[in-house]
Chains A and B, each alone.
Chain A
Amino acid sequence: GQNIDQPTEMTATEGAIVQINCTYQTSGFNGLFWYQQHAGEAPTFLSYNVLDGLEEKGRFSSFLSRSKGYSYLLLKELQMKDSASYLCAVRDEDTGRRALTFGSGTRLQVQP
């Protein structure tokens, strides 16, 4: 089975940097995904990590430590439009289960 933990809510200021953490406990591991979901909309893919280290994609970066079961999403130069929920999801090693297991999501509020 899988257990994924994220903070429920975070608040940050426009122009600042925010780090959203995700910890997971899995019976196996085959990749971690981050999604963004604006209120009332579908989740959209942000990033994928399978090896340890930092993956950078514009203002967004994602870090993974497999030994610690830990990931974070780093958002730089925050904009008001970044107000959304951020979902961490893990793909486990069981090839018979092609689904992802999602955390409950972190609601980020960006203030002026």
Chain B
Amino acid sequence: DVKVTQSSRYLVKRTGEKVFLECVQDMDHENMFWYRQDPGLGLRLIYFSYDVKMKEKGDIPEGYSVSREKKERFSLILESASTNQTSMYLCASSLGGGGTTDTQYFGPGTRLTVL
């Protein structure tokens, strides 16, 4: 079974703090993704990576950055947290290559509250 883990289930931070969210997958997947999920808005893509040290902006990258130094690990960074970044953050990975290999497997999520 694919396993995607995230460093924290719940996190509370203050406005202006730098926040790191970590994600690790154990299936040698090429692609990794960061989403945020808000009521009524669904899953929105922040950034994704298709290879080590490679990254692509998603639909809402503003206020976020990412790092992928190793294949299994993809980090999301909030340089200066703001209250509008309070959300559920979900990490996912996929093998890639088309067809069912594009199936994404999700981590349990991190519920971030910025005060």
- Whether B41 is near chain A, meaning CB under 8 Å from some CB there, is yes
A77 to chain B, nearest CB (A): 25
Q: Count residues on chain B whose CB falls below 8 Å from chain A CBs.
A: 28
Are B48 and A50 within 8 A (Cβ)?
no
Interface residues of A in 97-112 (CB under 8 A from B): 97-105
Q: Count residues on chain A whose CB falls below 8 Å from chain B CBs.
A: 24
1/0 contact trace for A27-56 toward B, CB 8 Å?
Answer: 000110100000001111100101000000
Residues of B within 8 Å of A100, CB to CB, are: 102, 104
- Whether B90 is near chain A, meaning CB under 8 Å from some CB there, is yes
Residues of A within 8 Å of B102, CB to CB, are: 30-31, 33, 91, 98, 100
B58 to chain A, nearest CB (A): 6
A interface residues, Cβ below 8 angstroms from B: 8, 30-31, 33, 41-45, 48, 50, 87, 89, 91, 96-105
B interface residues, Cβ below 8 angstroms from A: 4, 31, 33, 35, 40-45, 48, 50, 56, 58, 90, 94, 96, 98-100, 102-109
